[in-house]
């Protein structure tokens, strides 16, 4: 993982040297990271959309074979195959993304180590951005934590898979509430540079989800 941290740190350092502003560098870094992950996200979203689209058929199978688990599993897998859906297709891209997400998070949490190489160099740069006196400190006005929580809720609301059993629906609802609260709390206590990264990532993800949902819906209607 150290190699990954150093790679992302070098990326952010070169972006900062190019634009000369740490806040803008974090925003550009966030957008580049999302573009790198875009092919994986498209595959994940497509799999989720297809799974959502066939939920009525899955529910019919569940109702028909509720007393025959073996037949239920057989017919469900048959349905997935008919629609070219991999049951774990939505999970695999997430597993691939996790090391990258952890690497990005670690770099922005400790830029003095992975971006600038020393505490002295990091202390010497101007970290003020918009209303923030320093991107190395928590937001004193708590605007970014609120935005981080709100945008997390926004994109999670668009990415939830519809349908499924009651337990899955209940879990989705719990995640939709707990995740924004957790992100908001972390953004409140961590350096605002990290909170800025989360906000940009969430906004990009929301726009991406809405665009792809519209695209896949149009394709499904043809």
**39-63, pLDDT tens digit by residue?**
877 777 777 777 777 778 888 888 8
Lowest mean pLDDT among 46-55, 72-81, 156-165: 156-165
What whole-number distance in Å separates Cα of residue 152 and Cα of residue 116?
29
pLDDT average, residue stretch 101-107: 79
**Is residue 15 within 8 Å of residue 25, measured between CB atoms?**
yes
Mapping DSSP to helix (H, G, I), strand (E, B) and coil, where does residue 132 land? strand
Residues 163-181: tens digit of each pLDDT: 444 555 666 677 777 888 8
24: confidence class by pLDDT, cuts 50, 70, 90 = very high
Residues 6+ apart with CB under 8 A from 68: none
**Higher-scoring residue by pLDDT: 124, 148:** 148
**Is residue 151 within 8 Å of residue 143, measured between CB atoms?**
no
Please state, for a pLDDT cut of 90, what percent of the chain lies above it: 5
What whole-number distance in Å separates Cα of residue 66 and Cα of residue 81?
20
pLDDT average, residue stretch 138-162: 81
Helices 69-82 and 55-64 sit at what angle, rounded to 10 degrees?
Answer: 160
Lowest mean pLDDT among 23-27, 122-126, 165-169, 201-205: 165-169
pLDDT average, residue stretch 189-194: 85
What whole-number distance in Å separates Cα of residue 37 and Cα of residue 21?
24
Burial class (CB in 10 A: 0-12, 13-18, 19+), 142: middle
What whole-number distance in Å separates Cα of residue 172 and Cα of residue 88?
17
């Amino acid at each position: 993982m150290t190699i990954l941290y150093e790679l992302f740190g070098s990326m952010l350092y070169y972006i900062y040297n190019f634009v000369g502003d740490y806040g803008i560098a974090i925003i550009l870094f966030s957008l580049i990271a999302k573009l790198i992950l875009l092919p994986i996200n498209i595959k994940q979203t497509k799999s989720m959309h297809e799974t959502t689209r066939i939920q009525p058929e899955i529910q019919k199978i569940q109702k028909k074979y509720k007393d025959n688990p073996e037949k239920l599993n057989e017919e469900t897998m048959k349905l997935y195959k008919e629609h070219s859906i991999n049951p774990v297709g939505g999970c695999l891209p997430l597993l691939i993304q996790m090391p990258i997400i952890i690497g990005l998070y670690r770099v922005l949490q400790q830029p003095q180590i992975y971006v600038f190489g020393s505490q002295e160099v990091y202390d010497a740069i101007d970290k003020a951005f918009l209303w923030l006196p320093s991107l190395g400190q928590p937001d004193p006005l708590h605007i970014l934590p609120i935005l981080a929580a709100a945008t997390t809720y926004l994109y999670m609301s668009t990415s939830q898979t519809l349908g499924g059993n009651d337990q899955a629906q209940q879990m989705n609802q719990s995640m939709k509430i707990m995740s924004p609260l957790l992100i908001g709390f972390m953004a409140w206590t961590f350096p605002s540079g990290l909170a800025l990264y989360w906000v940009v990532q969430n906004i990009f993800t929301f726009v991406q989800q809405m665009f792809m949902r519209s695209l896949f819906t149009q394709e499904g209607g043809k």
